[in-house]
Amino acid sequence: MSRPSNGFSIIEMLVVISIIALLSALIVFGATAFGIGGKRAKTGSIVATVRNALDLAAADRGSRPAPAEHPLAGSLAPRLEFVRAGGGAVSANGVALIGVPLIQVAAAAQDRVLLADDLFADPDVPQLFALRRDACTILGMPQVTVTQARKLPPNLTATDAPDVAGFLIAPSGDAGQNREIIEQVLGRGGLSSELAGLGGLSEPAPAYTVAVINGRVLTDVPVGGGGATRWKRGHVADGIHPTEAPAKNWKPYRLPGLAVVDAWGTELLYGVSDTGVLSVTSAGADGAFAIDPGKNGMLETGIGATPQGDDSDGRTDNIVSGGG
C-alpha cells in the first residue's frame, strides 16, 4: 500500500507561500493604518491643546494673539503667487497695500492690494495651494523677513497716492521671538510641557541652515545640492534639480524659529476671522491643506477647479478645531 509523502507538493507550497504573502500584506497595511491613525489621534490632541491654550489666553487677557503671516505667504516683496478669487493677477512686487477694497485705490496700484479672499497659487508650495490668504497664518511673531505692507485708512473714498509713508506696517520681529509668543500662550495651565510631550513644538534641526524661497524658510539641502524630484509632505520646490533636469528640486523645509506642528511635523495654521471665530488646522497625513498632489507629487488642478488627475481634496483629512 502506498504511503503519503512526508514533503509538500508544489501546489501545497504555492498555497503556503500565497497565504504568507497575504498575511504579510495585511500586517504591513495594518501597521501603516495604525501609524496614520496614531499620528492622527496625537494631532487631534495637539490641536485641542493649542485651542485650549488660546482660549485660556483670551480669558486671561481679553483677546487672543493676532495671527502672523505664514512665511511662505507673507506680504513682503517679492511675494509668492496669489490670484484673485474671481480671477485676475495679484502683483508679487512692490509694497503691498491692505485694509481697503480695490475701488479705493488707483487702477495702476490695484494689483498690489492684498485681499482676504485671494487664493494662494504658487505651484512650488503645494501644501498651501488654493488656500485663501486669510487662512495662510500661524501662531508666531510677525517678522521683518515676512511682513511689509501699507495699511490704508478705510474711510477714504479713493486715493491716487497709496504709498504714503506713514501707513507702512513693517514689524521688527524675528523668528527667534516666536518662542516668546508661543510660550506666552502656552504658559497658562502648564500646557507648554503637555504640547512638547505630544511632539507639537518644533525648531529646525542644526542641519537646517540654508535659507530658500527668498529667505523665508530653511532647508538642510546644501546650496547647489539636490533634493527629491517630486513633491513630498514638508517639501518646497527651489529651482531645478541639479542632476535630474527638468525636474524641480524639492527640498525639505522648516519654518525659522519655534513652531507649533502636528504629529507629522507640518506647521499648524492658526487664524481668527473678522467675527472673532478661531481656528487651528492640521493638514493631516497628506501634508496638503487644500489640494493633495497625490502619489505622483504633481499638481494637476487649477485654482477653483475640482481635483484633476492624481490630485485629491486635501481638506478631507484636515484636523480642525473651530472655524466651523
d(CA 48, CA 45) in angstroms, rounded, equals 5
**What is the domain partition of the chain in residue ranges?**
10-204+255-322
Query: Minimal CA–CA distance to 171: which of 318, 314, 21, 66?
Result: 66
The reported pTM is 0.85
Q: 171: which 3 cell numbers?
A: 514689524
d(CA 90, CA 81) in angstroms, rounded, equals 7
pLDDT (tens place) for every residue of the chain, 324 residues total: 454 455 557 676 566 556 655 665 555 445 444 455 799 999 999 999 999 999 888 888 877 889 999 999 999 999 999 999 999 999 999 999 999 999 999 999 999 999 999 999 999 999 999 999 999 999 999 999 999 999 988 776 777 778 877 788 888 889 989 999 998 888 766 788 889 999 999 999 999 999 999 999 999 999 999 999 999 999 999 999 999 999 999 999 999 999 999 999 999 999 988 788 889 999 999 999 999 999 999 999 999 899 999 999 999 999 998 654
| Residue 34 pLDDT | 47
Find all residues with CB under 8 Å of 95, minimum gap 6, and list them.
77, 112, 148, 149, 150, 163, 168
| Residue 324 pLDDT | 45
Query: Minimal CA–CA distance to 292: which of 132, 133, 131?
Result: 131
| Residue 23 pLDDT | 62
| Residue 21 pLDDT | 58
Measured from the Cβ of residue 182, the count of other Cβ atoms closer than 10 Å reads 24
Kindly list the distances between the CA atom of residue 24 and the CA atoms of 16, 17, 20, 27, 132, in Å, as whole numbers in the listed order: 12, 10, 6, 5, 43
Three-state DSSP state, 218: strand
Three-state DSSP state, 60: helix
Q: 118: which 3 cell numbers?
A: 485671494
| Residue 192 pLDDT | 85
User: Beta strand pairing status for 96-98 and 149-151?
Assistant: parallel
Q: What is the pLDDT of residues 209-265, one digit of tens each?
A: 999 999 999 999 999 999 999 999 999 999 999 999 999 999 999 999 999 999 999
User: Beta strand pairing status for 68-69 and 312-313?
Assistant: unpaired
